Structure 1
Amino acid sequence: MVKFAILTDIHGNYDALTAVLDDIDSRHDIEHIYNLGDNIGVGHRTNEVLEVVTNRDDMTYISGNHDEAIMAVAHNEPYPESLKNKFYEHHQWIVEHLDTKYYNFLDGLQREVTQEIEGLNFYFTHYRILEENMKQHISEDPFEPIIDPSLEHVHGLFNGIDADFVTFGHNHVLHHFDDIETIYFNPGSVGLNNGAYAVYGIVEVNNGAINVERVKVPYDNQPFLDGFDEKDVPGKQLIFESFI
């Protein structure tokens, strides 16, 4: 039997991240953690989040669109037009406060991981990128458009991925669908929820069966909310209206 955790879309929320990791560590039977990207951006505790995740020795990392867009700003590279009117000023602020010691980590994040676990095939990503777009720069918007959370839509989104289990993030709502051949799972965002809780997933693989649990962890989210005003974070109105 193998048991591992899936977390995604931390989005600079250090308090939510530590609540989730404390819950994972308290269980003592979770062997590994898959972090599906968007570690930073939107939230404001960038360096604290990166310090925590980079100090883990039990975590596999995936790149998210915010991670990549922020590094495009950091390197004075082209920036995605789809985000320019929403997050460019905010991402500039993130870069101004980002410790350069994390540049190599963020630049080295991979976009997909495939792994065989207990004889079953698992596919980990932030969101679908077609194979022909896998090497495109973030400014070319390689990620597919977000679809509504239904089995039909998710099956179509990941058409061509040969896996028993496909897990992803990006869209911050729960997806848990089983089309007989493939299980699709997105636990939802660790850091951006409309309430004082964080979410992550636990997957147990045992004798050819895959069991999935979504865990909601309560935490005090007031310091996270207050930090936007205390630090004068750009884009607060859009962030609160869209994500919190």
Structure 2
Amino acid sequence: MGERVAIITDIHGNSEALKAVLDDIERENISHIYCLGDMVAIGHETNKVMELLFSQENISFVLGNHEESILKIVNGVINDSDDIVQQHHEWIANNLDPKYIESLAMIPKRLEREIAGKKLLFVHYHLFENNRFLPLDTEPTEQKLEKIYENTDIDIVCFGHHHTIHHFKTANRLYVNPGSLGCGHSPLAPYGIIEIGREGQINVQFKEVPYDNTGFLREIERLKFPAYEFVLKNFHGNQHLHL
């Protein structure tokens, strides 16, 4: 038998979705979990998410753009504009338990691992050579992705950021994004499993785990944090209107 790893990404402050996925992962024969960033923001349950993640023994992390923004604010780098995204990030930063700051600051933007003879790259999103995130491409193709990684020996690129599932295969490598675990227009939390067999065969499984999101959505409406109406509409499909 080969090795099976779980890929989770874009939890976005949704602890109930994360709990459901972690429980499901426990029932799978998983050797390690890779968390691909954007654990925070959009949702409000930052500290609950951090507690759940950092209590896992078999997990590795890469940094997302939202963690990067929160850390800048914590370090005093604050945009003076009235941009609602900045206001939202300031609210998240102000409610972050300080005990998690050091752990977040130590997370790299990329990880490379060899698993069952295959080289895997884990990133929140594709990076420039200076380690900055590339702009989001909402219409990715095999050709575009290959252009980014053509000079690498990576076999499997695992990423997030774009909240939809991606599963591209070229002659050179595989590209996998399991979609946002914590943001969705239905009470389902997605994640991915990559299994690499002894002979190098690769199997990718996308799972959606049902969970109760009613308390999470009602608390967003009660808190009315910056951009909460945009969050409820665009990231959760206004499900709270039908509870």
Do both proteins adopt the same fold according to a TM-score greater than 0.5, normalized to the shorter chain? Answer: yes
Distance, in Å, in 1 between the alignment partners of 2:186 and 2:151 is: 36
2:116 alignment partner in structure 1:
118
Q: How large is the RMSD of aligned CA atoms in angstroms?
A: 1.6
Distance 1:30 1:71, change over 3 A: same
Is the aligned partner of 1:231 residue 2:218? no
Is the aligned partner of 1:62 residue 2:52? no
Distance 1:127 1:55, change over 3 A: same
Is the aligned partner of 1:193 residue 2:184? yes
1:35 alignment partner in structure 2:
35
Q: Normalized against structure 1, the TM-score is what?
A: 0.91
2:133 alignment partner in structure 1:
143
Distance, in Å, in 1 between the alignment partners of 2:214 and 2:171 is: 42
Deviation at 1:181, TM superposition (A): 1.3
Deviation at 1:180, TM superposition (A): 2.0
- State whether residues 86 and 238 of structure 1, in contact with CA within 8 Å, keep that contact through their aligned partners in structure 2: no
Structure 2 residue runs of 5 or longer lacking an equivalent are 237-243
Distance, in Å, in 1 between the alignment partners of 2:70 and 2:144 is: 29
Distance, in Å, in 2 between the alignment partners of 1:196 and 1:47 is: 21
Distance, in Å, in 2 between the alignment partners of 1:78 and 1:108 is: 21
Deviation at 1:59, TM superposition (A): 0.1
Paired residues, number: 233
1:139 alignment partner in structure 2:
none
State, as a whole percentage, how many aligned pairs show the same letter: 38
Distance, in Å, in 2 between the alignment partners of 1:228 and 1:208 is: 45
- State whether residues 69 and 79 of structure 1, in contact with CA within 8 Å, keep that contact through their aligned partners in structure 2: no
1:16 alignment partner in structure 2:
17
Distance 1:57 1:168, change over 3 A: same
Distance, in Å, in 2 between the alignment partners of 1:161 and 1:234 is: 41
Distance, in Å, in 1 between the alignment partners of 2:128 and 2:79 is: 20
- State whether residues 84 and 226 of structure 2, in contact with CA within 8 Å, keep that contact through their aligned partners in structure 1: no
Structure 1 residue runs of 5 or longer lacking an equivalent are 135-141
**Aligned partner of residue 73 in structure 1, secondary structure:** helix
Question: Does 159-168 or 201-210 show the bigger shift?
Answer: 159-168
- State whether residues 166 and 185 of structure 1, in contact with CA within 8 Å, keep that contact through their aligned partners in structure 2: yes
